[in-house]
Structure 1
Amino acid sequence: MATTFLTAEWRNLIFANYVLDRRVLDPLLPYGTELDEFNGICYGSLVGFYFQNVKLFGNVSVPFHRQFEEFNLRFYVRRKSPTGWKRGVVFVKELVPKFAISLVANTLYGEPYETHPMRHRWDIQEKVQYIDYEWEVDSNWNHIRVSADRTGHPLVPESEEAFITEHYWGYTKRGNGRTSEYEVVHPPWNIYPVKTYDVRCDVATLYGADFAPFFDHPPASVFLADGSAVEVKSGEAIDR
């Protein structure tokens, strides 16, 4: 049984979801996985959120690393296991403001982290909440921000929001014929309808020119999830 590597809270997750071409994603697939589709569509999501109360191995707090922003681009995969399909995510790149987080993630787990200056703003008013995450790329500030209802609703089964948020496994490509698999445990999140949104992301610099055309268009959907406590289990290797 896998042990718990990390516990934390993920709060106020903004998802901006774009239609991507399989040809861009196929080279990034970890061994043993295949692309997961929703109604025949391969989605990539720009996700901004906030880490809180981070602890390692259940109770070890690292000074100055208990809370921080993260922004990432991820896409969706699945893997056939002896017990059935496991639905998971693959990260193209993850941005955080803490160098130590990037160092550990890159060197020990092969996760594609980069360190960038980041900041956030939450403004909660009577009926509307304003959530804003920013990160610096080549001296320019990028952002993902929304205004959303303060009244949310439970996740609707089989919805697009359920497809996006209910991938409970992470997969990392560790070379030809080798993949790291880990489980992320959390309850279903409540969804908050977005009134307005704005996304400014230097996709070409962060992810490469091949990705850029797919983000020149507005996202197919944008929503806000409240988040929850999460547990990230220690990983296991999948080998050829």
Structure 2
Amino acid sequence: MATTFLTAEWRNLIFANYALDRQLLEPLTPYGTELDEFDGVCYGSLVGFYFQRVKMFGRLSVPFHREFEEFNLRFYVRRKTQTGWKRGVVFVKELVPKLAITLVANTLYGEPYATCPMRHTWNVEEQTQHIAYEWKVGSDWNHIRVSADRTGHALVPESEEAFITEHYWGYTRRGETRTSEYEVVHPHWTIYPVNTYDVLCNVEKLYGAAFVPFFDQPPHSVFLADGSAVAIKSGAAIR
């Protein structure tokens, strides 16, 4: 029986989605999984969002670690099981402003977390919401920002937004023939159309030179999701 080791709320998730080359991602794909595509495209997403009400094991709340920003780069995989396909995400790197979060994630779960100064702004006008996340790389502030409608719409089945948001498993490479699996449980999210966006990210320093050509191009799509309560549950060790 799966154990819930973290509950939280994820709020105001910005997704900037880029088409990436299979040859770039295949060496990063964990054992037992394969790249997942949407209309023949392997996507990588830059995602900024806010953690709230963080609790460990559903009850333990750590002072000063209940709310914080996160920014990550992730791509999409799937794993074939006896009951069908499990669709999941793999993180290239996850940035948070809390060193303790990084230490626990790296040491216990092998997740590629790093710590840096971060901040966010949420401003709401009559018909528009302005959401921004910033993180510091060296001495420079990077950012992902959107201006989006305040009126959202339900997630459309089989849409690109559904593909991006409905990968409910996480996979972490723990070696050449070992992978950790965990489940992320949340309801469907409301999607808010983005009117304008701006992404400034030092891709080479964060992810390496091989990623730069793909992120020098405009994103294929950008959207905002409202988020929800989430529960992260232990899965299997794949060997």
Q: Same fold (TM over 0.5)?
A: yes
Counterpart for residue 201 of structure 1? 201
Residue type of the alignment partner of 1:3: T
Runs of 4+ residues over 2 Å off in structure 1: none
Q: 1:1-240 residue pairs with structure 2 within 5 A?
A: 1-239=1-239
Residue type of the alignment partner of 1:216: D
SS at match of 1:24: helix
State the superposition RMSD in angstroms.
Answer: 0.4
SS at match of 2:37: coil
After TM superposition, give the deviation of residue 82 of structure 1 in Å.
1.1
Q: Distance in 2 between matches of 1:49 and 1:130?
A: 13
1:110-149 Cα shifts (integer Å, max 9, x gaps): 0000001000000011100000000000110000000000
Q: Distance in 1 between matches of 2:202 and 2:236?
A: 33
Q: Distance in 2 between matches of 1:44 and 1:201?
A: 14
Q: Distance in 1 between matches of 2:107 and 2:164?
A: 28
SS at match of 2:30: coil
Gaps of 5+ in 1: none
1:51-88 Cα shifts (integer Å, max 9, x gaps): 00000001100010000000000000000011100000
After TM superposition, give the deviation of residue 210 of structure 1 in Å.
0.3
SS at match of 2:101: helix
1:186-225 Cα shifts (integer Å, max 9, x gaps): 0000000000000000000000000011000100000000
Residue type of the alignment partner of 1:193: P
After TM superposition, give the deviation of residue 92 of structure 1 in Å.
0.2
Gaps of 5+ in 2: none
After TM superposition, give the deviation of residue 235 of structure 1 in Å.
3.6
Q: Distance in 2 between matches of 1:10 and 1:233?
A: 15
Residue type of the alignment partner of 1:199: V
TM-score when normalising by structure 1: 0.99
SS at match of 1:74: strand
- Number of corresponding residues: 239
After TM superposition, give the deviation of residue 234 of structure 1 in Å.
1.9
Residue type of the alignment partner of 2:236: E
1:34-57 Cα shifts (integer Å, max 9, x gaps): 000000000000000000000000
SS at match of 2:198: strand
Residue type of the alignment partner of 1:27: P
Q: Distance in 2 between matches of 1:195 and 1:176?
A: 43
